[in-house]
Structure 1
Amino acid sequence: MSADIKAWYLSKTVWGGVLAIIASIANIAGFGISGAEQAELADGITALLAAAGGIVAVAGRLVAHRKLK
């Protein structure tokens, strides 16, 4: 993937939008999530996904059939 392109699920903007929708639904249901909490959740989710991506990359390399030079 190009350096200026990233996967959609690593975008804080995407997760911020998803969390805004969830916060709206939660508010209707009687639960409140502040904007700061939404931002923290988006940061946490993207960090977890980036870590998971790293784990998958390393695991993939470990089980690969071709050796590196």
Structure 2
Amino acid sequence: MIEVDCLGEICPVPIIRIKENLKSMKSGDSIKVVTDHSCTQQSVMDFFKNKKFKVQCEEVINGVWEITVIKG
């Protein structure tokens, strides 16, 4: 699993960092993005809406989310 620390980063930085890693991903690989901006969650969901990826979001502590993107 690739981990991307986006704490303190605002959109579109998390999307850009995810896109950088997509090129090296194979089917079944995943990326975990850690963010402290709630807007990132929706941005990631929108970006992958019609693509063959599974997206899971979890607020791990108050104000910090882990967003996992799994390539289909």
The TM-score with structure 2 as length reference comes to 0.30
Q: Give the number of the structure whose residues are more often strand, by fraction.
A: 2
Q: Give the number of the structure whose residues are more often helix, by fraction.
A: 1
The TM-score with structure 1 as length reference comes to 0.31
Structure (1 or 2) with the larger CA radius of gyration: 1
